[in-house]
Chains A and B, each alone.
Chain A
Amino acid sequence: SAVISQKPSRDICQRGTSLTIQCQVDSQVTMMFWYRQQPGQSLTLIATANQGSEATYESGFVIDKFPISRPNLTFSTLTVSNMSPEDSSIYLCSVKGGWETQYFGPGTRLLVL
């Protein structure tokens, strides 16, 4: 299994600012995923972050808005840039384990005013 921690757990930010969310895993993993869950909606994949390569973004998400770093096999950051109220969501880090398992972090609850 994998234990995932995220920082911050929640934040309230002003529009136009940026927030960097950290994700730490207690074991080395190849693939890390960042999801967004807007209020009342299901989870949507933002991007897949592999160590040593550029993140792969899903349709509708761009690197300028959501830059991702993956400096090693246990850590990743997601930045939400130039925030607007529409960015208010829960952001979740996730990793794929062996045999199709998947683990999720506790989430970062973001409110943009």
Chain B
Amino acid sequence: KNEVEQSPQNLTAQEGEFITINCSYSVGISALHWLQQHPGGGIVSLFMLSSGKKKHGRLIATINIQEKHSSLHITASHPRDSAVYICAVRELGGSQGNLIFGKGTKLSVKP
């Protein structure tokens, strides 16, 4: 069983739609990251969460530590949001540097 599970694996949306990507994990964590990877391969960190909710522009990330679940929401989606979104966790007591990554959600927003 993967320690970090994301759903859906693939998501196609029309421009303007509200999008939700889910992440569940099975280990105790000190932090959860939402990352964005564009086709070129580079990765950008969107959020780092240890509790509650964070908002940045049209992006909102929430985490429920008790349920070991996080969601990434995109409001008023746009074709430029098309990318792979990756959830990653830093395990409590784990190797200092290691993040455990989900397999990613490939989002395609159509105009």
A residues adjacent to B (C-beta < 8 A)? 31, 33, 37, 41-45, 48, 58, 90, 92, 96, 99-107, 109
Contact = CB atoms under 8 A, between A and B. Distances in A.
Contacts of B35: 104
Contacts, number: 58
Given A104-B35, A107-B40, A42 B104 contact: yes
B48 A101 contact: yes
Nearest to B99: A102
Interface of B: 30-31, 33, 35, 40-45, 48, 50, 86, 88, 90, 95-99, 101-104
Contacts of A109: 40-41
Nearest to B103: A42
B44 to A, nearest CB: 7
Contact of B42 (A42, A45, A105): A105
Contact of B96 (A31, A41, A90, A107): A31
Contacts of A33: 97-98
B43 A48 contact: no
Contacts of A104: 35, 42-45
B73 to A, nearest CB: 21
A7 to B, nearest CB: 13
B45 A101 contact: yes
Contacts of B98: 33, 45, 48, 58
List of 3 A-B pairs having minimum Cβ-Cβ separation, nearest first: A107-B41, A106-B42, A104-B43
Contact of B30 (A31, A100, A101): A100
Nearest to B29: A100
A41 B103 CA distance: 6
B26 to A, nearest CB: 15
A100 B50 contact: yes
